Structure 1
Amino acid sequence: VAETSGACKVACLATVEELQSICREEGLVCEELGVTKNNLCDFEVEYLCNYKRIELYLVKWKGYPESMNSWEPRKNLKCTDLLSQFWEDMVRELRRLKKRTIPKKLDASLASHLVQRAKLRKTLKQWETHLNSLGNKKGRIFVENLVDMEGPPKNFTYINDYKVGDGISLTEVAVGCECTDCLNDPVEGCCAGASQHKFAYNELGQVRVRPGLPVYECNRRCRCGPECPNRVVQKGIQYSLCIFRTDNGRGWGVRTMERIRKNTFVMEYVGEIITTEEAERRGHVYDKEGTTYLFDLDYVDDEYTVDAAHYGNISHFVNHSCDPNLQVYNVFIENLDERLPRIAFFATRPIKAGEELTFDYKMQMDPVDAESTRMDSNFGLTEIPGSPKKRMRIECKCGVASCRKYLF
């Protein structure tokens, strides 16, 4: 304990629930932990641990240690959602074990599996709550793992905006437009026109310029308000999405919980902005691990790369497909340095609720003109001096008919 108030703060190694459990086990009241005389002996089901055919369930009580678990008849349990989840987990595991009947009493391995599954679900729910506490996104993020016992990724920090690496600076735009209606009455072509480019969006916020052309959105110095139709990417993710565990060895993936219209913005690719030299150094490490999250920012010059391995948003979990439903666009908002565009994903076609979101890790733009050929988007293809021109070949598991068999 610190000698003087506010001298230091030390993170507690126990969670609040663990401390509550200790209080209840010892019969101690602690108002700061929410353990009072009125609820000291309250019992709430945290999860179910076992089952007997005579409709008895072994219950782990919330806020109490496992030593106080007790067998309870079905009639005593009001936790219908937990009961349904318990049975879903049990049936799924029995199917995996190719067992057709439910045993009268669960063996130790099956009971242990159900407990670990319940604990994993609780851990993922806490991570889900944390992800949704970051930023003001319209859509929610859900997390689901029905495949294995993998929990939240280690050594990964969720961020909603770029993390700028050492020696790199982002220069904010100095001027903005004077429009009051950017779409219908743009002054001198608005922000896009000032850069000698087309207005990128229609009235529904759908991108209408060809992939390969840059997108210039209005910025904080513009006269137009936050509802301006030329502010799309900067509003962030608008759809509810789910980070889920794939069942074919591709790790985590992302699917949409809502229908997404064609040409609408879905998400940004966010991570650390690093120099190409630093990307080359990290590339050696990622090659050995058989994975990479490097995305070259080569709109004009190949000077910078985005690395989402340890810092990133939900795009960190988006998988590759040789027939993707997301397309990359380079977007400029507060920073007009053409070496540092923002990477935005737009839907290439209507996407149904429940469909997995994917992009092509080796996406190539249609070389209609000199400008579009500059914006080839190479994901994880930073070349290493002294190494072969092609990086280590990674087998593709996207499963589409047009699959190229290898990612790189």
Structure 2
Amino acid sequence: MAAAEAEARGAWCVPCLVSLDTLQELCRKEKLTCKSIGITKRNLNNYEVEYLCDYKVVKDMKYYLVKWKGWPDSTNTWEPLQNLKCPLLLQQFSNDRHNYLSQVKKGKAIIPKDNNKALKPAVAEYIVKKAKQRIALQRWQDELNRRKNHKGMIFVENTVDLEGPPSDFYYINEYKPAPGISLVNEATFGCSCTDCYFEKCCPAEAGVLLAYNKNQQIRIPPGTPIYECNSRCRCGPDCPNRIVQKGTQYSLCIFRTSNGCGWGVKTLMKIKKMSFVMEYVGEVITSEEAERRGQLYDNKGITYLFDLDYESDEFTVDAARYGNVSHFVNHSCDPNLQVFNVFIDNLDTRLPRIALFSTRTINAGEELTFDYQMKGSGDVSSDSIDHSPAKKRIRTVCKCGAVTCRGYLN
């Protein structure tokens, strides 16, 4: 199937055996457009600057090597500055050059200075890699926002290194059962309340208190389950007992951390104390399978296994390959997120949904974290509750930097 036809049908994309340059040449030959590889109606027969690759000065005239959008590298051309109408790309080129030289200086490496007539090959190579990374991250950001089913937008940012999108991660919005595991998604009963906040609602049927106050903030202690109204309830979508099921309401940013913790997540909006932020989702597997995978993950120094041990330890959530934004949330010994078990349509106590609520006010730009040992912090902490991830056999050094840091993740 042609790339353009696949895109039009909304088909899944798979790795191709030919290079991007070859795909672009084939599409142009057949007069096909394909947004995913940069060929649009706008540049099918025209030239649009995608990024700038190099710089030189010839007879006092400045030239830039241009990569044309949707055209292979073999068609790159040197263009005089006065012909370029792309101030943003010119600024990015200058910033990338400056950042590279600054990094080299910090590393105390010796590199010949540019003579203002041409860039050194190492500088030009870095600039191209940075431009390609920027494009790849933008495509990944677009894909994440196409797949998410919640209000909050997802942004991606890397100003630290040349790391691009993860190669083996698939965004999902809800649990993905492993083969042989059944997730019952339909409740057998629901409330008939006209005002769920004041009447005996679904929580009362389960023998617990309504989890939220009038401001949609959590008001129960950790360890207490949340029972929200479900698809059988007569109340509408504005019911005050429907919070987690509405999904993330905040715009979040997956960003590259500067402290060696890889990717992290920060909020782009202020989050009030005790507010729902996101769910932790992934592949639901048996605890036996979790033990097997855990040994492999230990060797890689990664931790994505989360035991569903509300009443039993039969199942574990593995967010290593399948997950949502929570996949990128880092650990902290002094976190600003706390875990709660949630039941909505699926009332099987072996399979609670995992919701993360803020423990305090979180300002815009602040990184989101939760304690991988699930002991929390501040007013909602409880050392007697253990919602810990699956057992780990190798001690992993903690890099959270908190004053109360325990030194290890496990």
TM-score after normalising by structure 2: 0.86
Deviates more, 1:311-320 or 1:139-148: 139-148
Taking structure 1 as reference, are residues 18 and 354 closer, same or farther at Cα in structure 2, changes over 3 Å only?
farther
Cα contact 1:365–1:376 (8 A) shared by 2 = no
Structure 1 unaligned blocks of 5 or more:
3-8, 367-371, 384-390
Quote the offset at 1:148 in angstroms. 1.9
- The match for 1:388 is none
CA distance in 1, matches of 2:327, 2:70: 34
1:246-325 alignment runs, 5 A limit: 246-325=257-336
Task: Look up the equivalent residue of 1:133 and give its one-letter code.
Answer: R
Is the partner of 1:363 in helix, strand or coil?
A: coil
Deviation of residue 10 (structure 1)?
Answer: 11
1:3-402 equivalence runs, <5 A? 13=17, 19-22=23-26, 24=28, 28=29, 30-31=31-32, 40-52=44-56, 54-98=61-105, 103-104=115-116, 105-171=118-184, 172-183=186-197, 185-186=198-199, 189-364=200-375, 375-379=385-389, 381-382=390-391, 391-402=393-404
2: distance between equivalents of 1:165 and 1:148? Answer: 35
Q: Distance in 2 between matches of 1:239 and 1:10?
A: 28
Deviation at 1:21, TM superposition (A): 4.0
Which residue pairs with 2:9 in the alignment?
none
The answer to whether the 8 Å contact 1:22/1:64 transfers is no
Task: State the Cα distance separating 1:40 from its structure 2 match.
Answer: 4.9
**d(CA) in 1 for partners of 2:42, 2:361:** 54
- Deviation, 1:33, is 5.4
Distance in 2 between the 1:10 and 1:395 partners?
37
Secondary structure of residue in 1 paired with 2:134: helix
1:249 CA drift (Å):
1.4
Q: Distance in 2 between matches of 1:178 and 1:247?
A: 51
1: CA distance, partners of 2:285 / 2:44: 53
Deviates more, 1:78-87 or 1:138-147: 78-87
- Distance in 1, matches of 2:88 and 2:65, equals 16
| Alpha-carbon displacement from aligned partner over 1:13-55 (angstroms, at most 9, x marks no partner) | 458885444555xxx4615559899965411010111123654
Report if aligned partners of 1:216, 1:331 keep a CA contact under 8 Å in 2. Answer: yes
- Which whole-Å CA distance do the structure 2 matches of 1:152 and 1:261 have between them? 30
CA 1:77–1:296: 2 relative to 1, 3 Å: same
Q: Given that residues 370 and 376 in structure 2 are in contact (C-alpha distance below 8 angstroms), is that contact kept between their aligned partners in structure 1?
A: no
Distance between the aligned counterparts of 1:58 and 1:43, measured in 2? 14
CA–CA distance in structure 2, aligned partners of residues 203 and 180 of structure 1? 16
SS state at 1:336 partner: coil
Does the aligned pair in 2 maintain the 1:298–1:374 contact within 8 Å? no
* CA RMSD between the two structures: 2.7
1:168 is displaced (CA, Å) by 2.4
What is the CA–CA distance in structure 1 between the aligned matches of 2:21 and 2:136, rounded to whole Å? 13
**1:375 Cα shift?**
4.7
Rounded to whole Å, the distance in 1 between the matches of 2:34 and 2:356 is: 44
1:213-233 CA-partner distances (Å, limit 9, x unpaired): 111100011101111111111
Deviations 1:45-103 (A, max 9, x none): 10111123654221111122222212223332222222222222111111101189865
Q: What is the number of equivalent residue pairs in this alignment? A: 383
CA distance in 1 between counterparts of 2:32 and 2:290 reads 51
For residue 106 of structure 1, report the CA deviation from its aligned partner: 1.0
- The change in CA–CA distance for 1:170 and 1:119 in structure 2 (over 3 A counts) is same
Relative distance call for 1:132 and 1:76 in structure 2 (3 A) is same
Q: Give the residue type in structure 2 aligned to 1:30.
A: K
How far apart are residue 364 of structure 1 and its match?
Answer: 2.6
Change (3 A) 1:77 1:377: same
Q: Is the 8 A contact 1:325 1:349 kept in 2?
A: yes
Match of 1:230, as an amino acid?
N
The one-character-per-residue Cα deviations of 1:261-308 (angstroms, maximum 9, x if unpaired) are 111111111011111111111112112222221111111112211111
Q: Secondary structure at the match of 2:156?
A: strand
Q: Partner letter of residue 397 of structure 2?
A: E
Aligned partner of 2:139: which letter? Answer: Q
Q: Against the structure 1 CA distance between its residues 294 and 287, is the aligned structure 2 distance closer, same or farther, given a 3 Å change threshold? A: same
Partners in 2 of 1:38 and 1:393 — Cα distance?
A: 54
Task: Indicate conservation of the 8 Å contact 2:338/2:357, yes or no.
Answer: yes
* 3-state SS of paired residue (1:295): strand
Unaligned runs of 5+ in 2: 3-11
What displacement does 1:118 show?
Answer: 0.5
In structure 1, distance between residues paired with 2:183 and 2:40: 52
Counterpart Cα distance in 2 of 1:91 and 1:177: 62
**Would the alpha carbon gap of residues 14 and 178 (structure 1) be closer, same or farther in structure 2, given more than 3 Å must change?**
farther
Q: Distance in 2 between matches of 1:214 and 1:402?
A: 28
